[in-house]
Amino acid sequence: MHKIKIPQPAIDRVLARRDQLHVFREIDPRRTAHVVVDLQNGFMVEGQPVEIPTAREIVPNVNRISHALRAAGGQVVYIQSVIDEKAQRNGSNWFSVMSGAKRVKRMEETFCEGSFGHQLYNELEVLPADLRVTKRTYSAFTPGMCDLHSVLQQRGIDTLLITGTATNVCCESTARDAMMMNYKVIFITDGNATWTDEEHNATLGTMLAQFSDVRSTDEVIHLLSGSQRAAAE
């Protein structure tokens, strides 16, 4: 598991701006989605081309959040990256410039529809009521490359809990765009994973300072429990 240490300058800027670290003191579970980003075999299984070992360690926390949100009446959404002709055509800069030819070929083979790498990691607790949404670029909110926004809007969702991998790539990209599209975003410190603590913590600082609330799994579950109690009363 990552050693969490949000950069102090980010914390200082937040406190100077709004006098409190956390912006969301309550969650309406019925309008909340847990967006689980890219916890697929290609990123999770030992020996896979884009293996991120730390991502395996966050799975229990991801499952805990999903369980708590379902119980409170919220929605769980699994995002699955796919590389197909549309992804390559619309993301040609990434494929032609940002990646080498050998890597592109490996990625194509790993994340094509129906491949082992494309499948969700088998230790995730995926239930029939959970949703699966395909994306073809880093952010799950890129127009024309993922239907997540319309899926959420159809269900009246306005709050997102973000977990997954990689913290500083697809998770960060998705969270940034979500905030700019007026979603309330909570980025989970111990529910996201990337290659190093340094990269992980840098993203947490950016998220806290500009794009989201930043909370631990325990804190989010506590918020959900409080929301359930309030609704019952």
CA 91 to each of CA 40, 98, 132, 171, 199: distance values in angstroms, whole numbers, following the listed order: 20, 10, 22, 18, 24
What distance in Å separates the CA atoms of residue 44 and residue 39, rounded to the nearest whole number? 7
pLDDT, tens only, 186-226: 999 999 999 999 999 999 999 999 999 999 999 999 999 87
Would you give the DSSP letter of residue 30? G
CA distance 108 to 84: 7
Q: Residue 76: which of 40, 37, 36 has the closest Cα?
A: 36
**What token pair was written down for 24?**
């969301």
Q: What is the mean pLDDT of residues 32-41?
A: 98
Instruction: Evaluate if residue 233 carries a pLDDT over 70.
Output: no
Q: Give residue-wise pLDDT tens across range 62-97.
A: 999 999 999 999 999 999 999 877 777 776 666 666
Domains of the chain are 8-232 (3.40.50.850)
Half-sphere exposure of 233 (CA within 13 A, CB side): 6
Per-residue pLDDT, 229: 54
Mean pLDDT of 34-44: 97
Q: Quick one: angle between helices 59-72 and 217-232, nearest 10?
A: 10
Of 105, 177, 106, whose CA–CA distance to 137 is shortest? 177
Residue 161 pairs in a beta bridge with: 34, 186
- Does pLDDT of 228 surpass 90? no
pLDDT value of residue 93 = 66
pLDDT score, position 18? 87
Alpha carbons within 13 A on the beta-carbon side of 9: 4
Residue 43's φ and ψ, nearest 5 degrees, are -100, -20
Q: What is the pLDDT of residue 99?
A: 64
Residue-wise pLDDT for 104-150, tens only, equals 777 777 888 889 999 999 999 999 999 999 999 999 999 999 999 99
The Cα-based distances of 65 to 56, 70, 112, 147 in angstroms read 15, 9, 28, 23
pLDDT at 13: 93
- Give how far Cα 114 sits from Cα of 40, 42, 107, 111, 230, Å: 12, 12, 14, 8, 43
Task: Kindly state the DSSP code that residue 156 receives in the 8-state scheme.
Answer: T
